[in-house]
Amino acid sequence: MIVPLPDLYDVPWLDLSHAYGPAKDTPHLLQQLASINAQASEEAIGWLTASLDHQGMLCDATVAALPFVIRIAANSVAVNRAGVIDFLFGVTISANDIIQSFAIRYERDPAQAEADRAHAVNTREALLPHVKLFQTWQTDDDPAVVEAATHLVDELINAPPPPPPSPPCPKCGKPLRTVKSQQCFLCGADWHA
């Protein structure tokens, strides 16, 4: 391992989940990501993306893995730094998309939408304190690192604000589809102000 991760096993990975169940394989993938072997690092990015940012869905293991991924990306001797930063960029895009599409997701499955939004908010909260670090990567000697860092910083800083919460339906008390249409998510009540 080229980037030391001494506290990796302090995280209760078996109690966390990712797209395929318990996140028991995540520490191994993070070690692989931190290794000197470029092929192993590239494969780890693929598996981490598949499990921690699966089709744009985040999980509690995503948030737990971020400090390690950031530490690996911050190490100038890490292989495939641009790929690691691209992974952070992808996670950021997913978090922003989940927050922006909360109303639509709530309509399909309210409990899952709430959990997804919590993971997305926690992901952004884990990344935002590191913006200044990410900005230093924009002056790296490696053009691929500069490009990846620029995308990451732009997505974190320039993300649109979350839409305002919908008022409750006067009929069932659940959030409305939109304020403008005044249509309820769950009961379908439609009225005009």
Quick check: 95 and 123 in contact, CB under 8 A?
Answer: yes
pTM of the model: 0.84
Per the CB < 8 A criterion, the answer to whether 2 and 33 are in contact is no
Q: In the structure encoding, which two tokens stand for residue 119, read together?
A: 């993971």
Mapped onto helix, strand or coil, the DSSP state of residue 184 is strand
End-to-end Cα, the chain, rounded Å: 62
| 27 within 8 A of 8, measured Cβ to Cβ | yes
Provide the sign of the torsion angle of the four alpha carbons 13, 17, 88, 42, taken in this order. Answer: positive
Per-residue pLDDT 10s for the chain (193 aa) are 688 899 999 999 999 999 999 999 999 999 999 999 999 999 999 999 999 999 989 999 999 999 999 999 999 888 899 999 999 999 999 999 998 887 677 667 778 888 898 999 999 999 999 999 999 999 999 999 999 999 999 999 988 777 666 666 777 776 665 555 566 656 666 654 4
- Give the residue from 109, 121, 119 showing the smallest Cα distance to 17: 119
Q: Which residues contact 164 (CB under 8 A, 6 or more apart)?
A: 179
CA-atom Rg of the chain in angstroms: 19
Question: What is the phi/psi pair of residue 180, to 5°?
Answer: -65, -45
Residue recorded with tokens 């790929």: 83
Nearest residue to 117 (alpha-carbon basis) of 92, 100, 98: 98
Contact criterion met (CB below 8 Å) for 177 and 103: yes
